[in-house]
Amino acid sequence: MKLFKCQHCAQLLLFENTACEKCGHALGYLPDAFVLTALEPETEPMWRTLAKPARKVRYCDNAQYDLCNWLIDEADENKLCRACRHNHLVPDLSLADNLRRWSKIEQAKHRLFYTLTRFGLPLETRAENPTHGLVFDFLADAPDARQKVMTGHDEGLITIALAEADEAEREQRRLKMGEPYRTLLGHMRHEIGHHYWDILVRDGGKLEACRAVFGDDSRDYNEALQEHYTKGAPAGWQENFISAYATTHPWEDFAETWAHYLHIVDTLGTGTAFGLRIHPPIDKANELEAKLDFDPYDTTDVQILVDAWIPLVFSVNSLNRSMGQPDLYPFVLTNGVIAKLQFICDLLHDK
């Protein structure tokens, strides 16, 4: 994720900012330019961007709920921005806490869309592609709590359980599932991996190449899932899989690896934006040295990403432990996993 600065006063800004704390200018994100721009008011509801070239824009309709700062060009007839127009079912805002939950979900989803647009991935809505357009349902559990919403994907429809926006509930589910990591952004990146498997692999002529790396996806998915929950991951799974859940089925292995590739690229991008360098004085062999001075989105060699990622993760995990927090990234990148990450990288750059 990039760092941004105000075009009026040069104050450093974050992706979600809606107003500059220094000069007070309204802010909005231009998804086609990857720029957070300061704004000057025009005739309501229009604004003029201070980012050049100047243009007239308006906010996404979801700005009224204070959960979206993305902008729409004057000539665009859509009322929702490039991220929000993929929403299908949103929470009932007449119910207490639903706006708070939805806001957290949208923050994660907008960061996901930042990455998807950086890679130039196809983003058809359901109106543009009725059979496989990308659409999101944010669903609450039934009032009697007898049936919980399951986060998942089905032919372009991504369902996110609203309860996942509550940290305590998400942590409870993480512990129950025996997972080392569970976040809203992690869910988004995993489920979108299933969506792009359909588009880039199944429908993109890469099915056999993918099977050579991830295995035969024609295996019955429901049987594989039942076997995983009954027997658990096979012994020695860590050599070739990024997580225990990735062992369930080649589809899940692909989606897990896809999610981790996005974790790595976007976090390294943030490190580059901050000009980070890791060089511990005690490390005389320079085994933990890394200088984040490259754009990971443009990098086609995963080993370059890994060589920077391992020192960064080692240092950040150490900082987290100093604060009594769990490791930021509690995973190990083996040669088998790195080969799978390279497949994802090639897929994204060869599309």
Question: What is the Cα–Cα distance from 185 to 117, expressed in whole angstroms?
Answer: 16
Identify the pLDDT of residue 146. 67
Count of domains observed in the chain: 3
Whether the bond into 45 is cis, omega within 30 of 0:
yes
Contacts of 316 (CB under 8 A, 6+ apart): 328, 329
For the chain, list residues with pLDDT below 50. Answer: none
Identify the pLDDT of residue 283. 86
Last residue of a domain, one of 25, 53, 82: 82
Q: Are residues 166 and 186 in the same domain?
A: yes
Last residue of a domain, one of 29, 60, 82: 82
Identify the pLDDT of residue 42. 95
Q: Are residues 106 and 40 in the same domain?
A: no
Identify the pLDDT of residue 96. 84
Q: Are residues 189 and 307 in the same domain?
A: no
Q: Are residues 178 and 198 in the same domain?
A: yes
Q: Are residues 313 and 331 in the same domain?
A: yes
Give the distance, in angstroms, between the CA of residue 305 and the centroid of all CA atoms in the same chain: 17
Q: Are residues 244 and 186 in the same domain?
A: no
Q: Are residues 114 and 161 in the same domain?
A: yes
Last residue of a domain, one of 47, 82, 117: 82
Name the residue range of residue 149's domain. Answer: 84-202
Q: Are residues 103 and 180 in the same domain?
A: yes
- Residue 212 sits at φ, ψ, to 5 deg, of -65, -25
Q: Are residues 109 and 172 in the same domain?
A: yes
Identify the pLDDT of residue 325. 95
- Residue 65 sits at φ, ψ, to 5 deg, of -95, 5
Q: Are residues 130 and 265 in the same domain?
A: no
Q: Are residues 332 and 218 in the same domain?
A: yes
CA angle 233, 239, 244 (to 5 degrees): 25
Q: Are residues 67 and 129 in the same domain?
A: no
Identify the pLDDT of residue 32. 95
